[in-house]
Amino acid sequence: MSLETLGWGPAFEDAFSSLLSQSTLSLVPGRVVRQQRGLLTVQTATRTLLARTAGRLLHQAPGAESLPTIGDWVALQLPDGDGEALLHAVLPRRGVLARREAGSERDGQLIAANLDVVFLAAGLDGNFNPRRIERALALAWSSGASPVVVLTKADLHPDAASLAAEVEDLAPGVPVLALSAWTGEGVEVLRAWLPAGKTGVLLGSSGVGKSTLVNRLLGEARLATQAVRAEDDKGRHTTTHRELFVLPGGGMLIDGPGMRELGLWGEDDGVEQTFTDILELAAGCRFTDCQHQREPGCAVREAVAAGALPGSRLASYERLRRERAYQARQGNASSERDNRRHERSRTLMGWEASRSKRRRS
């Protein structure tokens, strides 16, 4: 398989050449195509092989976000035989999708890297949730890739077109596709978003039909699927790993386990891009720092009162904005603690060096 088929281009070529010029090792480029519990499978131009992260990269990485993930382009030292390759570096990324790690306020979790498009999958069944779509949009906009809302299971809804129009209202400027992976209706429209060399990722909770959609795009039952629970329309975790698939005719799609928690992460969380309609209304508020609470002349609250803006959408915007502000405060506090520890360490090292010098004299 050629590297170009996997999305290799001039930017990655330049980065790899620069890395190679500074290294004494014999390295080759490859892309991470499978990730399962820390095990990585990497595709190079000539072979597919397991790889483990070099100790130096593990120790020098400032955090888990600097370590390789699915979709990454990496520099490998190949084994002499059939053993594991050694992964020495991750090439600069673009289009990085990440979330706050479940159960943590300080740590992020990478979902996929080097993305062109993020498909936000939501099932048109009892699990449909507009607020979750808004949250997923904020994450997608933060990635730098283009978001596309994919409404699956259109065959189960009597009026999928009207629901798609409703989603278009809460996703200004974002394409909304209603399709059925079961019947194949609308799937070709999604395929058009993944021409040769482009990479997409499916983001959605368990039970929305992501694996069924991947199988339809591949033209074969590559991934196992399960029915959702009848009592609550929630899915089971059928997929337990992340994998990059090369689709027939070009383009790549990454699928992984369903996610129920989508905590905001990153400096640019995409909240403003998700709620451009509210920001446009806010431009008409009497005060430039209006918080849309009880201030007089608030154009946003007036729009809610007039029925032009759903109160639930404003509440969602405020909730995500508060969450992002809290996360920023936590990040700043963590950074300050790290800086203080670093300064104490430097002071101690200086004191030890000075005492050692006095002893020698």
The domains located in the chain, with CATH, are: 3-90 (2.40.50.140), 97-226+240-255 (3.40.50.300), 274-360 (1.10.40.50)
Question: Looking at residue 218, what is its pLDDT?
Answer: 92
Question: Looking at residue 186, what is its pLDDT?
Answer: 93
d(CA 66, CA 34): 17
Q: Supply the pTM of this predicted model.
A: 0.83
Closest CA to 12 of 113, 99, 144, 109: 113
The residues near 91 (Cβ < 8 Å, ≥ 6 apart) are 12, 15, 16, 19, 29, 72, 73, 74, 75
Contact 213, 206 (CB under 8 A): no
Closest CA to 151 of 169, 137, 139, 133: 133
State the binding site for Zn(2+).
285, 290, 292, 298
How many angstroms separate the Cα of 261 from the Cα of each of 43, 158, 186?
A: 30, 29, 28
The helix-helix angle for 130-143 and 160-170 (nearest 10°) equals 50
φ, ψ at 169 (rounded to 5°): -70, -30
Question: Looking at residue 235, what is its pLDDT?
Answer: 47
Question: Looking at residue 264, what is its pLDDT?
Answer: 77
d(CA 317, CA 272): 9
> Which DSSP category does 200 fall into?
E
Question: Looking at residue 324, what is its pLDDT?
Answer: 82
Token representation of residue 74: 């990496």
φ, ψ at 203 (rounded to 5°): -120, 120
Task: Decide: residue 151, CB within 10 A, 0-12 exposed, 13-18 middle, 19+ buried.
Answer: buried
Residues of the chain below pLDDT 70: 102-107, 224-239, 266-269, 331-361
Question: Looking at residue 349, what is its pLDDT?
Answer: 43
**pLDDT for 51-89, tens place per residue?**
999 999 998 888 878 899 999 999 999 998 888 999 999
The residues near 193 (Cβ < 8 Å, ≥ 6 apart) are 117, 119, 148, 200
d(CA 210, CA 118): 13
State the binding site for GTP.
152-155, 204-212
State the binding site.
152-155, 204-212, 285, 290, 292, 298
Q: Tell me the residue type at 29.
A: P
Question: Looking at residue 232, what is its pLDDT?
Answer: 43
**Secondary structure (DSSP) of 16-74:** HHHHHHT-SS--EEEEEEEEETTEEEEE-SS-EEEEEE-HHHHHH-SSGGGS--TT-EE
